[in-house]
Structure formats: structure tokens, C-alpha cells
Amino acid sequence: MLRLWRKIRRTGRVAEPSPERPTSDGRAFAGSVQVRHVDAGSCNGCEVEIGSAFGPVHDAERYGARLVASPRHADALLVTGPVTRNMAEPLRRTYEAVPAPKVVVAVGDCARNCGVFAGAYGVAGAVHEVIPVDMEIAGCPPRPEAITEALRKLTGR
């Protein structure tokens, strides 16, 4: 098994999906969700809106979503930007470090389909080309209301 994982890492294939997927209505964690944000190559616009979603106006924490510093403490990954070549392997490792059940939310058009950076020499691909994605938030950048709404779907609050 270890050899298989090493081979996947070397060949750059998509990481194996989490064995436990969220429920069909997108809710996996009743009440609260711990979130690790990963900037895989963003222009920083999506980060500003994530900051706003967790700021005093939208205050996603009151719906049970909380940012954490380590993927080992997280239930969900919020991934922004097209995945750059340098971030593909760290993103795979971060995904593998999150305990199951886990969900991945691709935030912004770049995360969904590389957006304005499609075809750029430093871009490895969209987030779903590197790790499994459960939920996408459209927009360049997405509005903080849309980010908060997605987090509320995860917490069910």
C-alpha cells in the first residue's frame, strides 16, 4: 500500500478519494466544521473574500465554521487558486493529512477551472485535477455570502 502511495505521488496522479463522502445534500458534519484554508496559487482576491466571510459582518463562525491551522485538525479544506506546479504535491499531502470523513471545497473560478490562469506555464490544473472536490463556489472572486452559504451547507446551520 505504501509503495502504491509513493507511486501515485511520483506519477502525480489524483489522490485517492476519502472513503467516507458527505451526504447527498452536502451535509457531512452536523453543527460544526473545522476548516483549513489552502492557497494553491491564488491572486489573493479569494483570500480577501474568505477573510470577509469570517469577519465581523458575515461571521461564519456563528454558523459553526472555524478556521484551524493544521489539516490534521480539519474536517474540510477550502482551496483557492489554480493549482500551481509547486503547490500540487503540498496540496496532495495536505489532503492526505485531513482525517476522514473530509470534504474539499474549491473556492473561486480559478480553483474550479483555472479561470484567467488557464493554460499558464506554471499551472498544473484545477483543484479537481489534483485532489477530489466535493463542492465548488463560483465567482472571481466569489462573494463572501456565497462562501458563508457553502460553509452553512456543511454545518447544517
Instruction: Tell me which residues touch ligand SF4 (CB under 6 A).
Output: 42-43, 45-46, 80-81, 108-110, 115-116, 140-141
* Smaller CB separation from ligand SF4, 28 or 53: 53
* Smaller CB separation from ligand SF4, 28 or 60: 60
Helices (H), 72-121: 85-97, 109-113
Residue 144 beta carbon to ligand SF4: minimum distance, rounded to whole angstroms: 12
Residue 4 beta carbon to ligand SF4: minimum distance, rounded to whole angstroms: 33
Contact 50, 148 (CB under 8 A): no
**Can you tell me the distance from the alpha carbon of 57 to that of 48, in angstroms, rounded to the nearest whole number?**
13
AA letter at 56 = P
* Smaller CB separation from ligand SF4, 45 or 125: 45
E strand or H helix at 3: helix 2-11
* Smaller CB separation from ligand SF4, 29 or 54: 54
**Can you tell me the distance from the alpha carbon of 87 to that of 95, in angstroms, rounded to the nearest whole number?**
12
Residue 156 beta carbon to ligand SF4: minimum distance, rounded to whole angstroms: 27
